[in-house]
Chain A
Amino acid sequence: EDQVTQSPEALRLQEGESSSLNCSYTVSGLRGLFWYRQDPGKGPEFLFTLYSAGEEKEKERLKATLTKKESFLHITAPKPEDSATYLCAVKGDNYGQNFVFGPGTRLSVLP
């Protein structure tokens, strides 16, 4: 059964204090790993898709990396507006496999 775990559950950073969020996954044939950002009361907002080990993607202060067992979301010099819940999801390669989400990491960036 496909599984996704995320750590830490919650993270508090000072503005400018860089850190990383972890997403560990078990899937029978990875089709893609997806990072989303979710603000309170809103739906998940797409950030990145990673398809194969070694792949990296960047967007502003965020950088996502992927290995065969986990993905990291690196946040460089975060700002208060980066505060949100970051969700990781995987999709298996077999037809019919659907998104499996992790529980998320709640990030708070203090000014």
Chain B
Amino acid sequence: EAGVTQFPSHSVIEKGQTVTLRCDPISGHDNLYWYRRVMGKEIKFLLHFVKESKQDESGMPNNRFLAERTGGTYSTLKVQPAELEDSGVYFCASSQQVQETQYFGPGTRLLVL
């Protein structure tokens, strides 16, 4: 069974540019989560989808971040315009049930210059 996949693995952009990250969850997992780890800090929750609906987006830092999950399959996280403080590793995770173990992808390393 394929795990959670994320694309790209790395992205280097300039301040003000736009970047879109993609996550493909484990097949059959209705719950999809986005997390972020900035340098030297803990992994922090960003938002949670149940199928195509946003269940909780309380962790989204500001309106420069837009997450979508059309059709309840893969998800994208767009940062527009990117700022220096957006640099970090963005992880995606999925689970079958909301209260169950989450399985993480390898992450996308974003560097904003």
Q: Which residues of A contact B (CB under 8 A)?
A: 4, 31-32, 34, 36, 41-46, 49, 87, 89, 91, 96, 98-104
Contact = CB atoms under 8 A, between A and B. Distances in A.
A99 B45 contact: yes
Contact of A49 (B6, B101, B104): B101
Q: What DSSP secondary structure best describes chain A's contact surface? A: strand
A23 to B, nearest CB: 12
User: Sorted from nearest, which 8 A-B pairs have the closest CB atoms?
Assistant: A43-B104, A101-B43, A98-B45, A44-B104, A43-B106, A101-B42, A43-B107, A103-B42
Interface of B: 4, 6, 33, 35, 41-45, 48, 55-56, 58-59, 91, 99, 101-107
B104 A98 contact: no
A99 B102 contact: yes
Interface centre among B41, B56, B101 (most CB of A within 10 A): B101
B42 A91 contact: no
11 contacts: A4-B42, A31-B99, A44-B104, A46-B101, A46-B102, A87-B43, A96-B55, A96-B58, A98-B33, A99-B45, A104-B42
